[in-house]
Chain A
Amino acid sequence: MRILRNNKGVARIIEAFLAILLLTACIAIVPAYSTKTQTLNFSSFGLETLTSLDNNGHLAALVDVENWDALRSCVDSAIPLTLWFNLTVFDENMKPINPYALCSSGSVSDNIDSTDYLSASLNSTYRVYILRLQLSQVGSQ
């Protein structure tokens, strides 16, 4: 009887151990995986979008003439409606030069990804701008 009672105790300990392992795996692995996937998608998408829009120097040309509304519209047209964006333009000394926020409307989720794109102007007055594009899901948490 005594030996049987002891075996029952060992089984409970093993069961508790397995439960701890399962919970730890769920907490540590699953959220880390989902965060990484989302981050890579957003930043790569943002960079590809800006690289594509600036293929003929269009973005730098808009910044050169300080046409901020056209710049916002240009980026807005390339970003899906399910994403929120905020674009900030910096000069070579990382000083923001857009006088007001260039962003889409709507509520923003807590997860914001950011990507930086360097854009050299095409015209004879040469400048290098840094365009920082922040992206997030609209309204999700």
Chain B
Amino acid sequence: MFSTVAYVTEVIKQAPKTETNENDMFPQYQQNLKHTLISALANITIDNTTQVLSQNIDKLNQAFSSHFYESTLQIESTLTNTTPYQNGLWIAGYQENHAIVGAQVSYQLESAGNTKKTNVAGIVNVTSEAYLSGNSSQIDPATKQGTLTLRILNEGMPTLASNFSCYYQDDTQWLPVQNFSSTDFGNGTYQIIFSVQLTQPSDPLIVSINVLDQRGTNMRVQTTCTNS
């Protein structure tokens, strides 16, 4: 009898175990939901396919629901529809001096295990912002020099750009700035200096920048340079 008890105890000790504690799962879900919003924003700001947000959240919820075996998991996520969000998205690009794109979703998780039931609710929010300001000076009768300051933020914190391109308005046309020098201050702030020739030199210098932050979110911000 003793040897049987000893044998069973040893076998139990040696069996590999997969632990899926629901308390460990909640931060994991929240982190992945944030990644999902970032991925959707990257998609939406490039392709303008807004339905990708709900599709990706459904995919994530399905993966979580089907993967936790020790408890029954119910996930409800709702795209925010209060101002300024619409279907979970806040896209205010092409604005003067400031562009912002964001996504917000609220979620509720209910985990029913063998011994206990746990409820967790929360909101996940992701925003990317770009601020642009600049001044211009007439360096000769036909040429203007623009000095721009660009700041990029993720969730209100400075972040780096992975790429940006610069355009200026000449009459009614938007033309790319071919040669510009940029200085990266390493804190999400960039200084861009360039020279352009306008058809009407007396026109104000209007500049637009397409910026891709490190998360792949694309923003377009424009500014009218002040004369210095």
Partner of A120, one of B10, B39, B42, B215: B39
CB within 8 Å for A115 and B18 given contacts A32-B9, A44-B24, A126-B40: yes
Cβ of B160 within 8 Å of any chain A Cβ, yes or no, is no
Q: How far is the CA of A28 from the CA of B18 in the complex (A)?
A: 22
Cβ of B104 within 8 Å of any chain A Cβ, yes or no, is no
B28–A122 touching, CB < 8 Å: no
Cβ of A119 within 8 Å of any chain B Cβ, yes or no, is yes
In A32-56, the 8 Å CB interface with B consists of 32, 35, 39-40, 43-44, 47-48, 51, 54-55
B14–A126 touching, CB < 8 Å: no
**Chain B residues, Cβ within 8 Å of A121:** 35, 39
Closest CB-CB distance, B97 to chain A, in whole Å?
A: 27
CB within 8 Å for A27 and B13 given contacts A51-B28, A115-B19: no
B35–A57 touching, CB < 8 Å: yes
Closest CB-CB distance, A80 to chain B, in whole Å?
A: 19
**Chain A residues, Cβ within 8 Å of B40:** 126
In B86-137, the 8 Å CB interface with A consists of none
CB within 8 Å for A123 and B24 given contacts A27-B6, A110-B14: no
A35–B216 touching, CB < 8 Å: no
Q: How far is the CA of A130 from the CA of B120 in the complex (A)?
A: 22
Cβ of B31 within 8 Å of any chain A Cβ, yes or no, is yes
Cβ of B194 within 8 Å of any chain A Cβ, yes or no, is no
Cβ of B56 within 8 Å of any chain A Cβ, yes or no, is yes
How does the 8 Å CB contact mask read for B23-56 relative to A, with 1 for contact and 0 for none? 0100110011101101110110011000010001
B60–A128 touching, CB < 8 Å: yes
Partner of B17, one of A32, A43, A119: A43
Q: How far is the CA of A47 from the CA of B29 in the complex (A)?
A: 12
Cβ of B85 within 8 Å of any chain A Cβ, yes or no, is no
Partner of A118, one of B6, B43, B64, B215: B64
Interface size class of B (residues with CB under 8 A): 35 or more
**Chain A residues, Cβ within 8 Å of B24:** 44, 47-48
How does the 8 Å CB contact mask read for A51-80 relative to B, with 1 for contact and 0 for none? 100110100100000000000000000000
A interface, CB within 8 angstroms of B: 23-24, 27-28, 31-32, 35, 39-40, 43-44, 47-48, 51, 54-55, 57, 60, 92, 110-124, 126, 128, 130, 134
Given A35-B13, A115-B19, 18 more contacts at CB 8 Å?
A: A28-B5, A43-B21, A47-B21, A92-B63, A111-B13, A112-B16, A114-B16, A114-B17, A115-B20, A116-B18, A117-B28, A120-B36, A120-B39, A122-B39, A124-B42, A126-B36, A126-B40, A126-B56
Q: Would you list 27 pairs from A and B whose C-beta atoms are within 8 A, ordered by A residue?
A: A31-B9, A32-B12, A35-B12, A35-B13, A44-B21, A44-B24, A51-B27, A51-B28, A51-B31, A55-B31, A57-B35, A60-B35, A110-B14, A111-B16, A114-B17, A115-B18, A116-B20, A117-B28, A118-B28, A119-B35, A122-B39, A122-B215, A124-B42, A124-B43, A124-B47, A126-B39, A128-B60
B interface, CB within 8 angstroms of A: 2, 5-6, 9-10, 12-14, 16-21, 24, 27-28, 31-33, 35-36, 38-40, 42-43, 46-47, 52, 56, 59-60, 63-64, 67, 215-216
